[in-house]
Amino acid sequence: MNDQEKSHLNERQNKIMEFMHQQNAIPVSQLATMLKVSEVTIRKDLSFLEQQNLLYRVHGSAILVNRYTNNKTIAEKKRLCINEKRAIGKHAATLIMPRDTIMIASGTTMQSFADQIIVRESLTVISSSFEVSSSLVGKENVDVIQLGGLVRESSLAVMGPFAEQMLTCLSCSKLFLGVDGIDIDFGITTTNHMEANLHRMMVNTAQKTIILADHTKFNRRGYSQICAMNQVDEIITDSEAPHDIVEKIMDAGIDVTIVDNEGIQIKN
């Protein structure tokens, strides 16, 4: 928040925004306790802050941004969280086993992951992403199965009934999936319903689903659900992921791996 934004707020509202930047999501009751005022007063402050587009209110809480994420082009996404995606991908690459068969979905985090895969024994990769396939097809000991279908311009990935039909004939040990949003209540989401359908089939095809998501994806929603949280086995993320959300996800029985800038796991 810059000085101009601060000047429009009173002391209590500035305090609220300081707390929000520390925790990302805070219940109304907690804010009222922290600031020693009534919940009614806090709700009025939150209403004003929401009108200033500084936070978003939902289910008795406030979050730092609007949880509904918008579709971005692949060029825009490539400029976001570059180091975090590289670190997440580096760690994810260590999960590949000798003679493994894996599935890699679309997205710039998946591209970072694919770039860091080094194979000493044979690996078979099924992917909906042209960029992922292009990165892997020239690597030694890697066989690539490219799904076919309608190409989504914003992600350079295929979707639709042809790709879905191919999946009915395939099986794999692990799915590595990039997402637009992770929401404890609504689940794993993306911003395109056709892509969500394909990714849902991928989840059902794989023995294990691993989400690769930087900290900006938490407490956000795309418009189309891919799967519920209980269908996810593991989430790999960076150290800026909101701790309260991570704890709730872990309490639900889902493994969360947090990595540093070098892709090394941080002890939880």
Q: With 80 as the cut, is the pLDDT of residue 75 above it?
A: no
- Phi and psi angles of residue 117, each rounded to the nearest 5 degrees, phi first: -75, 125
- Ordered DSSP codes for 26-64: EEHHHHHHHHTS-HHHHHHHHHHHHHTTS-EEETTEEES
Mean pLDDT of 48-77: 68
Mean pLDDT of the chain: 88
* Predicted pLDDT at 79: 60
* Predicted pLDDT at 1: 45
Q: With 60 as the cut, is the pLDDT of residue 66 above it?
A: no
Mean pLDDT of 92-98: 95
Comparing CA positions, the residue from 224, 252, 257 lying closest to residue 238 is: 257
Provide the 3-class DSSP secondary structure of residue 84: helix
pLDDT, tens only, 197-218 = 999 999 999 999 999 999 989 9
Most confident of 15-29, 50-64, 68-82, 238-252: 238-252
CB atoms within 10 A of CB 83: 12
The one-letter code for the residue type at 223 is Y
Task: List Cβ neighbours of 8 (8 Å cut-off, separation of 6 or more).
Answer: 52
* Predicted pLDDT at 5: 45
Mean pLDDT of 182-187: 92
Most confident of 46-60, 146-160, 252-266: 252-266
